[in-house]
Amino acid sequence: AQSVSQHNHHVILSEAASLELGCNYSYGGTVNLFWYVQYPGQHLQLLLKYFSGDPLVKGIKGFEAEFIKSKFSFNLRKPSVQWSDTAEYFCAVTEGGGGNKLTFGTGTQLKVEL
Amino acid sequence: NAGVTQTPKFQVLKTGQSMTLQCAQDMNHEYMSWYRQDPGMGLRLIHYSVGAGITDQGEVPNGYNVSRSTTEDFPLRLLSAAPSQTSVYFCASRAGTGAATEAFFGQGTRLTVV
């Protein structure tokens, strides 16, 4: 079974600092990769997704992620975080070619301080 | 467009009671699923459905039942509530016939079992 690892459980940054959140998955075949964000008290929303093509994916609110197949990684980045980025971030994966299960990592709690 | 609607938003149950968490989507999505979210554990898949009349178990199915009589509705039943089922429950739906589609989430149900 596929699994997703997010190694940073809690991250605290100052505004304008750069962000990189790690995500590694275990499945060796074709995968589809997602980053979701959960703002305090809200449901999950999609930040960005990778299915195929350019491994550098741009999402909403200035976020981007890079798929590195050789490292089984899909790290999330943002050059300059804002206080409003305070949220929990989840990496998720489905197996390509018709896999139905969306498997989530354990999440990274990001706090951005003014 | 309402998207995915979950009811209730909050619920307190006594150990041994049963209840049904409701989930409805108006996007004509084939895939629906239930997750539970616990601190430090991310979202874990309870049950999922790939279409009306078809359901399957996820990662943590014990103590829960589901049915899918219509495309729109996917209720989750707790048969005999236990304190270990205290959690936040999210329903999600996805379109398409493959794995490369975005999941849309409901607002969640916060369940406490005492």
Residue A98 reports pLDDT greater than 60: no
Q: Which of A39-43, A97-101, B13-17 has the highest mean pLDDT?
A: B13-17
Nearest to A48 by CA among B45, B102, B33: B102
When mean pLDDT is compared across A87-101, B15-29, B31-45, the lowest value belongs to A87-101
| B contact test, residue of A102, A106, A108 with most B CBs within 10 A | A102
Of B99, B107, B108, the CB nearest to A99: B99
Residues of chain B in contact with residue A49, where contact means CB-CB under 8 angstroms, are 100, 102
Residues of chain B in contact with residue A43, where contact means CB-CB under 8 angstroms, are 90, 105-108
